Amino acid sequence: MFKNTISNLTRIRQVAEVLLRYGFEDVVTTTPLRRLVSQSRRLRWLENDDRPVFETTRWERIRLIIEELGPTFIKLAQALSNRADLLPQALIDEFEKLQSNVPPFPVEEARQIIEFELARPLEEVFAEFDNVPIGSASIGQVHRARLHSGEEVVVKIQRPGVREKVEGDLRLLHELVRLTGGFLRNQGLSNPQDVVDAFERSMTKELDYTSEARAMEQMRKLYEHYNTFYIPQPYRELSTAKILVIEFVNGCKITDNSQLLAWGLSPEVVAETGMDIYLTQIFEFGFFHADPHPGNVLVRPDGTLVLIDFGMVGKLTKQQKYAFAGVFIGMARQDARSMAVNFRRLALSSEIPDMRAFEADLGRLIEDFALLDVKEMSMSDLADSLQGIIYQYKLQVPGAVFLILRALVILEGIGKVLHPRFNTFEFVRPYGAKILREQYSPENILSEAEYTGTQLLALLQTLPIDLRQIMRKVSKGELRVKVELSGYTSLLRKADQLVSRTVLALLTLGTLLFAGLSLLGHYPPEMPYYRGLPVITWYSLGISLFIVLLLTMPRRARRE
C-alpha cells in the first residue's frame, strides 16, 4: 500500500512536469498539483519570461502529452474520441491521430503464459506454433498455430504485466481527477469522474478475453443462418482471461480491390453486402461490431464477409434503436421537430433550456444536407454536424451512438474505395422505414401497452402504502421537506461569515466582561498575581486578544 502511494506520487509529479513542459501551467498552478512541483522548478518556470509563442495549437499539445504519458492514456484518449458529447471536435480530431505502436514481447514469454494458463505443455495443445507474431498491440499479441486435430487457429496472448500496469495507471487517473476535477469542470467537462469510471469498466472488460469470446458466440448465434457473413469460432475450452484461441480464417482485406477482382468478385456487391450486414446489426439486433476498419473485415474467395477482433462491441436497447432511427427518419422527412423529439428520447438525460433554438439548429442542419446532391452527401460531414449539436447542447446520449456514427464513417470510406457510386444514406433509408413499421406494429404496440400497464399496476399497488406513510408522518409532525437553493452561494457564504464574526464578537465581549468581573473577586492567598492583577484576569484578557486577532485576520489566512 505504502509502495503504491509513493509510486503514485512520483508518477503524478511526472505528469505535472509534462503539463508544465507543454505550456499547461494553468492546470498545475490552479489545482493541488502545484504542491508536487518543487520550488526550484516553479522559479525556473517563472524566470522564463522570453518563452517563444507556441507553434502548435492547444489541442495538438494535449495529444503530445497523451503520447508521452503512455498506452493507458492513449487508450483513454482513443475512447474519448468517440464521445463528441464531451469534447470539442478539434480535440477529437487530434485524438483520432493517436496510435498505440507497441513492439511485440518475446515468444518465450508468450509460451510461458500459455502453459501457465492451460496448466500443460504447449506441445500438448498445439501441433505447430508460429514464433513470429502476426500482430501486436498494447494489450496483447497474436500468433498463428495449428491444433493436433488439424484446425488452423490464431492465439491471442495478453502482454506480461499489462494488467498490473493498467491498474496502476487507472489508480493514477482517479487521483488526477480528484486533484484536477474542479479545473476540468470549469473547462466544460461536467463529469470527469464518470468518464474515468466508464473507461475503467471498458479496460477491465478488455483485459478479460472471455468477454470477447462471449461476444463472438453471441454474434455467431444471431447470424447462424446467413450465407454471406461468417464469425470465426472461439475455442472456449482452450481460452482463459489471458489467452484466446480462435479459428483462423483465410481471406483478404475488404479494400483489396485487385484480389477481389482476381477471385471473380464484384467489389460493388461486396461493399453493398458489407453495409447491409452492418445495418442489420444496428437496426435489427441492436448488437454490433464497433470497430469495422479494413483490417477487421475480411473477404473469403467465395465472397463471404468475415469480421474479426470483437474486443469492442456496442449495444442498443429497443427504445434507443427506435429513437436513433427516428433521428434519421426525421432528417429524411425534413422534420426538425421530429428529430428534436427523437434526440430527447435517445438522450440518457437532457436539459435543453430552449427547445425552439434546438429545433432551429436541427432545421439548419437539414437545410444544409437537403440542398446537396446524393453524390455530394457525406456520412462524415453529417456525423460531425450531429456530434457538434450534441456537444453544444450537452446531450448525454448512449456511447453506442458515437460508436455507430464512427463505424458508419469508416464503412463509407470502405464503400467509396470499392463502389464509385456508394452512398450511405441510400442504404440507411430502407432500414429507417423498416424500423418505423416495426415500432408501430400491432405486436410492438401490444408489448408497450403491456409494459405500461404493468408499471401502472405496480404504481397503484404501492400508492396506498406510500400515501399512508406520508399521512402518518404528517399526523405525527415528522414530515420533512428538503429544499435546495441554487444561485445563492455567494449570499450564503457571506451569511456564514457574518454568523462566524458575530459568534467571535460575542465570545470577545464575554471574555472581556469576565476579565472585568474577575477584578472584583475575593481569592485565597494561593492565587498568584502579576503587576497587581490576578492571573485569571490576565488569562481572560489573553483569550480576548486572541479572538480579536481572529476577527481582524483575513479569512483566507485563517483557513491556511
Strands 533-534 and 529-530: antiparallel
Q: pLDDT, tens digit, for every residue of 159-208? A: 898 888 888 888 877 877 777 777 666 666 656 777 777 778 878 888 89
C-beta atoms surrounding 2 within 10 Å: 6
Q: Is the dihedral of CA 445, 451, 455, 460 positive or negative?
A: positive
> Which are the contacts of 352, defined by CB distance < 8 A and separation ≥ 6?
344, 358, 393, 395
What confidence score (pLDDT) does residue 215 get? Answer: 93
Task: Give the span between the Cα atoms of 182 and 189, in whole angstroms.
Answer: 10
Contact 406, 292 (CB under 8 A): no
**What are the distances in angstroms from CA 544 to CA 474, 496, 513?**
47, 22, 10
HEC profile for 137-186? CCCEEEEEEEECCCCEEEEEEECCCHHHHHHHHHHHHHHHHHHHHHHHHH
CA angle 145, 220, 163 (to 5 degrees): 55
396, β-bridge pairs: 349
Q: Which of helix, strand or coil describes residue 471?
A: helix
Q: Is pLDDT of 348 > 50?
A: yes
Lowest-confidence segment of 307-316, 422-431, 446-455, 511-520 by average pLDDT: 446-455
Query: Domain ranges in the chain?
Result: 1-100+168-204, 254-440, 488-552
Q: Which of 10, 308, 45 is nearest to 171 (CA)?
A: 10
- Contact status, residue 143 vs residue 157, Cβ threshold 8 Å: yes
Phi and psi based region of residue 334 (left: phi greater than 0; alpha: psi -120 to 50; beta: remaining): left
- Grid coordinates 414530515 are at which residue? 479
pLDDT tens sequence across 297-335: 999 999 999 999 888 888 888 888 888 888 888 887 888
Asked if residues 288 and 398 have their Cβ atoms less than 8 Å apart, the reply is: no
Tens digits of per-residue pLDDT, 475-502?
777 767 666 555 555 566 666 677 667 7
Nearest to 437 by CA among 333, 526, 325, 314: 325
Residue scoring higher pLDDT (46 or 297) = 297
Q: What are phi and psi of 195, to 5 degrees?
A: -60, -45
The Cα 364–Cα 355 span in angstroms is: 14
pLDDT of residue 429: 74
- Reading the block at residue 418, the C-alpha cell is 470499392
Percentage, residues of the chain above pLDDT 70: 71
Q: What's the pLDDT at 352?
A: 77
Model's pTM, two decimal places?
0.66
Look-up of cell digits 503512455:
70
